[in-house]
């Protein structure tokens, strides 16, 4: 039995992806893969979907819910923010469809958010198809300085910046694989240097809880546990069987 299993906390809502095909709005081939934007249905709700090499990188509800998070692991990020009213500065590495930034800016008027995205096309897609321009129009997100978008490699940005952050979110993925540099010991220690005294580091991982696909969970937990005094695993979709791949969010604290 996986010794970590007993330390995983079940959170957020249940539900499975119905994988409904949708009407394609945009296609492009870039360095980091094949980008497809389409309107479809996700868990019975009309949703705009963002895929890279066939893997769903992001999504957005439409209409009145356009700033609400769609994916369970993004809801997990939002829950941590909601429980931290003293949060000021946030860094998110990996923008894609800007699910978390849209929620954070629209719900928390006092936060400031830096988003580092390596692919310029991703930001253009977010502006045109995922309501990032609406966020500017309604909240003055960028013009007010509350949202800063940096086109850069995450590791390079961390090396160059002097900023400290209350929450750092690592959601840098290449298709279905996390960025290897950021999730390495060197990358995590670089992240840790930019956390405030009571800072939180959030890292999304696709893994199983036990069985043949649980090696990423075990390896990541061992590494993070060696670097942080407090590490929790947040299970995002409790109805997925333990041996199936799913999202797990690591919540690591500096104290």
Whichever domain contains 225, its CATH number is 3.40.50.150
DSSP state of 104: H
As given in the structure block, the two tokens for residue 6 are 């007993």
Say if residue 47's pLDDT is above 90.
yes
Q: Please write the tens of the pLDDT for every residue from 152-191.
A: 999 999 999 999 999 999 999 876 778 889 999 999 999 9
Residue 31, domain member (yes or no):
no
Q: Which two tokens stand for residue 169?
A: 């979110």
Average pLDDT of the chain is 89
Q: What does the H/E/C string look like for 14-59?
A: CCCCCCCCCEEEEEEEECCEEEEEEEEEECCEEEEEEEECCEEEEE
Assess if residue 54 is contained within a domain.
no
> pLDDT at position 29, please?
86
Q: How far apart are CA 52 and CA 71, in angstroms?
A: 16
Whether residue 18 is predicted with pLDDT greater than 80 in this model: the reply is: no
pLDDT at 62: 92
- The larger pLDDT score, comparing residue 94 to residue 2, is at 94
- Quick: pLDDT tens for 230-255: 999 999 998 999 999 999 999 999 87
pLDDT of residue 31: 80
Predicted pLDDT at 7 = 56
Edge-to-edge, what's the strand order for the sheet holding 230-235? 8-10, 230-235, 246-253, 195-207, 165-170, 89-93, 112-117, 147-151
Would you say residue 96 lies in a domain?
A: yes
Q: Is 113 in contact with 105 (CB distance < 8 Å)?
A: yes
pLDDT of 84 > 70? The answer is yes
The stretch 55-77 carries a mean pLDDT of 94
Q: Is residue 13 scored above 70 in pLDDT?
A: no
- Say what the pLDDT of residue 15 is: 37
**CA neighbor of 62 nearest in space, from 22, 8, 9, 112:** 22
Comparing 31-40, 119-128, 213-222, the range with the smallest average pLDDT is 31-40
**Region 73-98 average pLDDT:** 94
Q: Is residue 32 part of a domain?
A: no
**Count of CA atoms in the C-beta half-sphere (13 A) of 30:** 16
| Residue 54, both tokens | 């066939």
Q: What is the pLDDT of residue 2?
A: 56
* Domain range for 121: 5-14+71-253
* Three-class DSSP category at 190: helix
Distances (CA, A) of 34 to 29, 180, 209: 5, 20, 30
Residue 187, CA atoms < 13 Å, CB-side half-sphere? 20
For the segment 194-204, what is each residue's pLDDT rounded down to a tens digit? 999 999 999 99
Counting the structural domains of the chain, the total is: 1
Residue 169 lies in a domain: yes
111: confidence class by pLDDT, cuts 50, 70, 90: very high
pLDDT more than 70, % of the chain: 91
Is there a domain that residue 106 lies in?
A: yes
Global pTM reads 0.90
Question: Which parts of the chain fold into alpha helices (H)?
Answer: 72-82, 99-107, 120-129, 132-139, 154-160, 185-193, 215-227
Position 62 in a domain: no
Q: Rounded distance, CA 48 to CA 97, Å?
A: 10
Cα-based distances in Å from 150 to 114, 176, 245, 251: 7, 23, 31, 24
More confident residue, 10 or 77: 77
Residue 14: the pLDDT is: 33
At 19 the pLDDT is 52
In the prediction, which pLDDT does 238 show? 86
pLDDT band per the 50, 70, 90 thresholds, residue 8 = low
Quick one: which of 31, 29, 58, 63 has its CA closest to 45? 63
> Could you tell me if residue 174 is inside a domain?
yes
pLDDT at 12: 41
* Residue 94 and residue 171 in contact, taking contact as beta carbons nearer than 8 Å: yes
């Amino acid at each position: 039995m996986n010794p970590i299993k007993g330390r995983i906390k079940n959170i957020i809502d249940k539900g499975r992806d119905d994988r409904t095909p949708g009407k394609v709005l945009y296609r492009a081939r870039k360095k980091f893969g094949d980008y497809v934007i389409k309107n479809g249905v996700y868990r019975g709700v009309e949703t705009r979907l963002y895929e890279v090499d066939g893997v769903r990188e992001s999504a957005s509800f439409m209409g009145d819910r356009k700033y609400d998070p769609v994916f369970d692991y993004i809801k997990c990020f939002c829950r941590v923010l909601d429980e931290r009213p003293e949060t000021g500065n946030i860094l998110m590495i990996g923008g894609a469809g800007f699910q978390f930034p849209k929620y954070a800016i629209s719900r928390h008027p006092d936060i400031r958010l830096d988003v580092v995205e390596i692919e310029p096309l991703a930001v253009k897609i977010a502006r045109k198809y995922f309501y990032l321009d609406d966020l500017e129009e309604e909240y003055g997100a960028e013009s007010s300085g509350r949202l800063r978008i940096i086109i850069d490699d995450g590791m390079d940005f961390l090396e160059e910046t002097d900023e400290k952050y209350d929450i750092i979110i690592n959601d840098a993925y290449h298709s279905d694989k996390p960025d290897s540099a950021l999730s390495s010991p060197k990358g995590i220690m670089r992240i840790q240097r930019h956390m405030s005294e009571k800072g939180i580091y959030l890292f999304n991982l696709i893994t199983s809880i036990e069985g043949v696909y649980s090696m990423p969970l075990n390896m990541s937990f061992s590494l993070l546990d060696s670097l942080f005094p407090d590490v929790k695993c947040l299970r995002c979709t409790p109805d997925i069987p333990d041996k199936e791949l799913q999202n797990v969010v690591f919540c690591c604290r500096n104290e």
